[in-house]
Amino acid sequence: MRLPLAIGMSLIAATFATAAHAKDWKTVVIGMEGAYAPYNLTDSSSKIVGFEPDLVQDLCARIKVECKIIAQDWDGMIPGLQAGKFDVIMDGMSITDERKGQIDFSAPYANAPAGFVAAKDSPLAKLASNGKVFDLTKSPAEAGKALDELRAALKGKTVGVQVSTTHATFADAHLKDIATVKEYKTTDERDLDLKSGRIDAELDDYPILAAVLDQPDSKDYAIIGPQFAGGEFGIGVGMGLRKADADLTAKFNDALKAAFADGSVKKYSLKWFKIDTTP
């Protein structure tokens, strides 16, 4: 198809502009919270370690760039990315339509259901849906019944979530009218309130909750009640990138495809989560 001269010249100019501004990626800066174990956490030497640091170093080696990981508070992740403070968000960030309106995402590299930790004698432990996973997108009727049961058990209770997360979005949509939803800047603050009795339950991804239960002071707590996927929780966890850096997104997607194919993603998942969270 032939184009009018003005349109053709515009397309040529856009092509040259894109080529002129395409970045020669030698170093990629990754933003992580360093406090979202086991996705990422800070060890005794102040180094950020975990599932995502292992995975991203693997991916950067495959695309032949140097990776530099820096710490960033969760609630400043998207603003920090857009301001150029770092090039990639890698912090257990769920891929949702709302976030896709602001940034691009890689293919998902992990997908685990969200659930609740509460005292072992909590009413959640007695629910018929206890321990079962419900997909809010694929099985809305079944998920709706589990939600009704959950809401009855949590009526008048206090549920803790981290601010600006899919868990906060879910709690706001489904629990706020019957329970008190308390938001925290960090998961550590939320965990302390649970164990001190200031909240009755906390909502987060299964691997995060499992890490909470690994702590010495967690013997009286358990993952109980129904677990949920889809809906507000999106399609899995991915790397967040600027929309202008489509070339970098493509590089990481190619690397992820290879890392899935040779079992590397599963290896890191089993190492840090003790379960296979590959999508």
Q: Residues with Cβ < 8 Å from 43, sequence gap 6 or more?
A: 49
E strand spans, 175-214: 180-184, 201-205
Q: What is the pLDDT of residue 23?
A: 81
Nearest to 244 by CA among 95, 72, 33, 25: 25
Distance CA 105, CA 124 (A): 35
Could you state, in order of their start, the residue ranges of all structural domains in the chain?
5-111+236-273, 114-233
Residue 238 contacts residue 95 (beta carbons within 8 Å): yes
Which CATH superfamily, name and number, covers 114-233?
Periplasmic binding protein-like II (3.40.190.10)
Q: Is 138 exposed, middle or buried (0-12, 13-18, 19+ CB in 10 A)?
A: exposed
pLDDT score of 19: 41
Q: Per residue in 20-38, pLDDT tens?
A: 346 889 999 999 999 999 9
Beta carbons within 8 Å of 48's beta carbon, 6+ residues apart: 32, 34, 40, 41, 42, 69, 71
pTM: 0.84
Q: Which residues of the chain have pLDDT under 50?
A: 1-21
Identify the helix (H) or strand (E) that includes residue 207: helix 206-213
What pLDDT is attached to residue 14? 43
The answer to whether the 5-111+236-273 and 114-233 domains have the same CATH topology is yes
According to the model, what pLDDT value does residue 109 have? 98
- Give domain 5-111+236-273's CATH superfamily: Periplasmic binding protein-like II (3.40.190.10)
Question: What are the structure tokens assigned to 44, written together?
Answer: 């005794």
